[in-house]
Structure 1
Amino acid sequence: MSRLDMLDLDSELDSESRMMRDTVRKFADDRLRPHIRDWFEDGTLPARELAQEFGKLGVLGMHLKGYGCQGATASQYALVCAEVEAVDSGLRSLVSVQGSLAMYAIWAYGSEEQKQRWLPGMAAGELIGCFGLTEPDSGSDPGSMTTRATRDGDDWILHGSKMWITNGSLADVAVVWARTDEGIRGFLVEKGMPGYTTTDVHHKISLRASVTSALSFDEVRLPAESQLPLAKGLKGPLGCLTEARFGIISGVTGAARDALESTIDYANSRTQFGRPISGFQLTQRKLAEMGVALNQAQLTARRLGELKDAGRITPAQISFGKFANVRAALEICREARSILGGSGITTEYPVLRHAVNLETVYTYEGTHEVHTLVLGQALTGQDAFR
């Protein structure tokens, strides 16, 4: 049992899950960790190259069945998310946006032809997808979106814009949600279509090792077969968000674990007043509270994985996990920074990088406030959104 696995959760893993976890951890340590500081500082990421490497590992859309996907359990996917986010939240976003948003939308709501065309290449990392729901003036209330698709014969004409889109400028295909006379519908917009342009967001101080873009649609003509036939109303995009939020719940425990582990190593080696600072009572209190919070978050992730594998998880339970675990991970990283003192503000140590990344995770795929209201509604039966 490792010092951070205070509840011996690792002993409950079956051999297949442990092997999968260890394989991804080794890849993360060998391929990702040596470069993440430079990627973060430079605001760059070799995303296409990494997507293909993730594809060879089999982690893109790994929890989906068929079409080149592994058909792994939700619990196994959760372990992978934790290992990737232990390096950086931006890297986990690359994996989860590809698999749990773009691929899942096609897998759950697409036609057989759409699935055959896109999913095998996306699972291999040869094709990249993005998910266009958020707009400059429509975030927490997706029902107020203004992007619109109108019929023109058998075709659709798409006009509008999306914002804060991970993988946007890289994507070979964008899953785009738009208002129509028939309600909210999903469409597959291919890179290079006339009128479709992307612009990357620069000057970020969070998720710098991630490509974030704005998407613009200026009377983009889409053939009828671009529409996702099974996505009708907000249930489609919200179903995708529920799928993606599950990966966040476990992923952020990886960031928190990495921050705590590096902090303990620092505290054991940093000497003040003639002794390691880890030997002082106030430092031990901080570390104890962080260790308990980490293990509680991991317990939450493990239980929600069990519920998802059993087909019994609910959107409110997903909100419970994101609400609790992102907050816990962010608090762990902030407290870890305080132990590192001045050293904690540099990228020599990962804790503040994890913290600023988690500030974004705290907001995206449902803000903390939105999940608060979801839980409030589950407890009281009263809708406080309006």
Structure 2
Amino acid sequence: MVRKGGGSKRRRSSCDEELIKFPSATLNQKVDFVLTSILFSNPQDERKRLKNAIIIQSFIRGYQDLKRQYATQRASFDECVSQSLVGGAQHTLDGPRLSLLSRQLIFFYKQSVDVHRLIWLCQNLVKFNSQFVKLLMGPQSQTCLFQVKRILGFCCRLLQCCRDDSLNVTVPMRMLEVYSSEKTYHPVVPDALCLTSLLEQILHYMVQKGYYKSLYVLVNHKLPSSLEYSDSPSVPLASTLLEHILKPLHFTYSSCTTGARQFVFAAFTKEFISAPFTEPIFHFFIPALSDAHVSFPFEAFLSSLQATINSSSLLHSQAPWVFYFVLSAGENRLGESHNSGVCLLYACTSRSQLCVGRRVVRGRTPTVPSGSAGAPTPAASVREQQPD
């Protein structure tokens, strides 16, 4: 009864406030308004408002608690770093301590705040990698694998910001190199099938997190535009990036989800082959991947490309660049390839797409950057290399 009385008082007060807004209303109009307000006032509305208020308050309290936890874990992480540097010399970090630091970083990591913490942890994970990967042999194997993948994902995202000259890209690149190498895991995972499965899971996750996009940004911001392809390039970083590009393409990903290998080749094609060629791509990487002595899996690439064509995900505007690469890479491999029919089929398909794409852009032919002196356009090269 008290609740009902309280509710009626609240309704009467709200009605009085509304009536004040209409002082010229007649008595009958005021009575009708009051009766309508009483009859159509729904107690469920008040309950909904109360429920929504509780939800909002819970969200705010949860967010504040999460921020406090972030601050607590950051302080704990920094304390561990300080303890490891006692006496001016860094002490050896064992596997469990590295796992604890990795877990803390994964919990609170925010790129705008914690880059220096990520760099420090990656330095130690590289330095003491033999200690860390020992966890793969015990009950924490899945936790260790999860931490490796997440931190490599952070590194991929960080490398996409390499346009900032102040960013140290050496450490995250070294992290990618070490923890995607067979040599790192072979002492603790001697079985070849298990080792291959482990690397496939790691590489597939890295590609999902923008691995090829990171490499593309590095290629175009860390290599000189005048770099030409040779067996021994004058810039060691170019050879390193070429190895990084090729590494994920040599696995079948049979231990991953269906379509994983297709996804990896599609990511490679999207970032390096289907976009208009920049000078480093055109002058170094296209000739390098076309070299028969470089272990580029051309047949697997063609099969993946055919699947891409069948799914109609290859846009007409991308056809000239892909077509140019297929002809360049296939020139030295077509005679040896067991999949030459696929190459010819793609050549015919791409040629039709090339014509459509040129009509779409109203006759505008894609060109390489203006700094590429004497470099032919993909369209011109296509005309020169068309099969009879």
- Please identify which structure carries the higher strand content: 1
The TM-score with structure 1 as length reference comes to 0.28
Q: Taking structure 2 as the reference length, what is the TM-score of the superposition?
A: 0.28
Q: Name the structure, 1 or 2, with higher relative contact order (CA <8 Å, separation 6+).
A: 1
Which structure has the larger Rg?
2
